[in-house]
Structure 1
Amino acid sequence: MGVLWTGVCALVRCALKGRSLKAAYPVITEKVDGILIRRYRYILDEMKVRDAEDLTPNDGGVPKIVWFSWLQGIDQAPDLVKVCLASQRKHLPDYEFRVFDLSNYQQWIELPEYIVRKYKKGLIPAASFSDLLRLAVLQKYGGVWMDATVFCSGFGNEKLQGRWDRIMQSELTVFRYFKRGTMAPVGLSNWFIAAVPLQIVISSVLDMLLAYWKDYNCLVDYYIFHLFLGLSLREFPMVEARMPRENSYHSILLGDALGRTFHQEQWQDLIDHVSFHKLNYRKVGEVSRNPRGYYWYIVS
């Protein structure tokens, strides 16, 4: 009730002051996030106890499994999504690809009945349902999750190959945003996650999201996944300290350039520095207008 009341009060204050309702968003998210953190703090406390009691070493590295999902089925996916899957398979040939959708995900994991019911009723958005799926498969099996619009350009030099090897040897990797000259990240991404099975941060975020959707029938913060992920990493600082330093900034450059005219030197410079590129299929109509653009280069 506190979450909904916070939102209503912020909207009313904006209306009374004649301000745009968008101005209420920062106030709502700040207060709502505080409520959510307090409400689901007990899950982290339980995880810390469990982590302290678990003395089993997990030094086997990330399993060579790539999880790929398009809920409607890969046959129904846009061309860009199919190109991204093909690029991942091309550059990770010795990995097992598990491509799942609404018709077959249950062969790997089973979500609580209330989650499936709320999703079918439209209460849980597709993106949030996908979040639960990615966490559930990683928590149980480990492996690498890449969003359906992640293009892989390969590991063309020793530096890129070394970075990939470190990811696969670490217990958890997510891409983060780093400002130039700073050590601490200023943001988190969830479009790429590599994890060992039963990883404590993955388990924490999954349990908090399951508890949230048991309590609520709507999404009160679009970035709730990032909220719980950041909270869990702060609670287990040694996990974050050991994570490879992968910067999301470099991985969004191709997505921003898809509509621009292709230049071989610029392309080579980009793929010499980064292997994974987060794209957006919703922009295809716009970026495909340039027949000599980067979009047509990667899909042809």
Structure 2
Amino acid sequence: MNRFTTAVGRFFTYLFHFGPRLTWFYIVYPRFAGRKGIMRRHEEIKRWIRKEFAQVLASYKERPFVSELPEEKFPPPPIWVCWLQGEKQMPETVRKCYRSVLANAAGRAVILVTEQNVGDFVSIPAFITEKVRKGEMSRTHYADYLRILLLKNHGGLWIDSTVFVTDEITVDRGLDFYSVRQDPASIYYVSQYRWAVWLLGCSARCGSYMFGCLEELFRTYLSRKSVFVDFFLFDYFIAAMYEELPQVRGLIDRVPYNSTSCEELISLLNSPYDENLMMSITNRSIFHKLTWKKDFDLRTDDGRETFFGVINRLYE
């Protein structure tokens, strides 16, 4: 009965905020339409975004992403990592990931963003921090907005706090935009693996354009809505920009395919360490998405060192 009540409440909440058409294609239609329903859900959310935020998208359509200075005159863009509670409060997996970023920064500044220093880099609208305080906005979505604002104002490379790095971070050099990009595409994610919001980078001259548009979309949305049209709103905004703004499409399409093994290491962390397998994985990606929500073993039951055990030893 509780599950039924929750489902009914969700249906009417969505109906109130987003209307009958989107409610049908978001909640009802995918339940019986399979793959077609998933694809239609993506299209309907993008359609809704284009309608609701037409003015924002139109304002960027003819706007070039240029700077008063040529790119080579900008200082090297920083690497951004965020753990709001600070380094001392990091879970063990996050601490190892952060140390791997520091070890592979290739001379670039690595800035750890915390609750204490976030104001040194960006000014977050008061109504957004109030939404977080009231529980109307999750810390996940707050972090989404924060990374957009940092990249808009400063450029650089955002690396999620649970990304383990295994080589020098130079892959974004010479590109105005960088992210994970994989092939083949998948219908289940609106990004279709053309980008990943856990790894996003931009040049200083691109930041004010692409991430300026993203920030305006996100801020405008938050000023109007207290309910998220989808948990992956960030991805839907990028997808709508990809289709509406030719310059954004060009920026994303110029990123070479990369990081084909970025989600393989996480499934092996409790397995006995295999150097050949590790080399195979790290040869295909220098970025590896992990999680802090699980505990990992240093050794197997029979005493062999695990993949996580090696990572722990290397970054003690």
TM-score class normalised by the smaller sequence: 0.7 to 0.9
Q: Does structure 2 retain, via aligned residues, the 8 Å contact 1:233–1:239?
A: no
Q: Does structure 2 retain, via aligned residues, the 8 Å contact 1:6–1:28?
A: no
Of the three residues 131, 142, 148, the one matched with 1:135 is 148
1:207 pairs with 2:202: no
Distance in 2 (CA, whole Å) between partners of 1:94 and 1:238 is 29
Distance in 2 (CA, whole Å) between partners of 1:12 and 1:293 is 42
Q: Does structure 2 retain, via aligned residues, the 8 Å contact 1:62–1:196?
A: no
1:279 pairs with 2:293: no
- Aligned residue for 2:116? 103
- Aligned residue for 2:11? none
Distance in 1 (CA, whole Å) between partners of 2:27 and 2:264 is 39
1:241 pairs with 2:253: yes
Distance in 1 (CA, whole Å) between partners of 2:135 and 2:21 is 24
State the Cα distance separating 1:4 from its structure 2 match: 5.4
1:258 pairs with 2:264: no
Taking the TM superposition and a 5 Å limit, the aligned residue runs for 1:150-169 are 150-155=163-168, 165=170, 167-169=172-174
Distance in 1 (CA, whole Å) between partners of 2:254 and 2:26 is 42
Q: CA RMSD in A?
A: 2.9
Distance in 1 (CA, whole Å) between partners of 2:167 and 2:104 is 5
Distance in 1 (CA, whole Å) between partners of 2:26 and 2:54 is 27
- Equivalenced residue count is 279
TM value normalised by structure 2: 0.78
Cα 1:63/1:45, change in 2 over 3 Å: farther
Distance in 1 (CA, whole Å) between partners of 2:152 and 2:214 is 10
Distance in 1 (CA, whole Å) between partners of 2:47 and 2:259 is 26
1:126 pairs with 2:122: no
Distance in 2 (CA, whole Å) between partners of 1:198 and 1:110 is 20
**Secondary structure in 2 matching 1:190:** coil
Distance in 1 (CA, whole Å) between partners of 2:283 and 2:28 is 51
Instruction: Specify every segment of 5 or more residues in structure 2 that has no aligned partner in the other structure, as ranges.
Output: 1-15, 186-190
- Aligned residue for 2:130? 117
Distance in 2 (CA, whole Å) between partners of 1:263 and 1:40 is 50
- Aligned residue for 1:197? 204
State the Cα distance separating 1:2 from its structure 2 match: 5.3
TM value normalised by structure 1: 0.82
Instruction: Specify every segment of 5 or more residues in structure 1 that has no aligned partner in the other structure, as ranges.
Output: 156-163
- Aligned residue for 2:192? 186
Give aligned-pair identity as a percent.
18
State the Cα distance separating 1:116 from its structure 2 match: 1.1
Of the three residues 85, 88, 92, the one matched with 1:72 is 85
State the Cα distance separating 1:42 from its structure 2 match: 2.0
Of the three residues 47, 55, 59, the one matched with 1:46 is 59
Distance in 2 (CA, whole Å) between partners of 1:11 and 1:154 is 41
1:232 pairs with 2:241: yes
**Secondary structure in 2 matching 1:50:** coil
State the Cα distance separating 1:51 from its structure 2 match: 1.8
State the Cα distance separating 1:49 from its structure 2 match: 2.8
**Secondary structure in 1 matching 2:180:** strand
State the Cα distance separating 1:37 from its structure 2 match: 2.7
1:3 pairs with 2:18: yes
Q: Which moved more, 1:248-257 or 1:170-179?
A: 248-257
Of the three residues 264, 287, 292, the one matched with 2:305 is 292
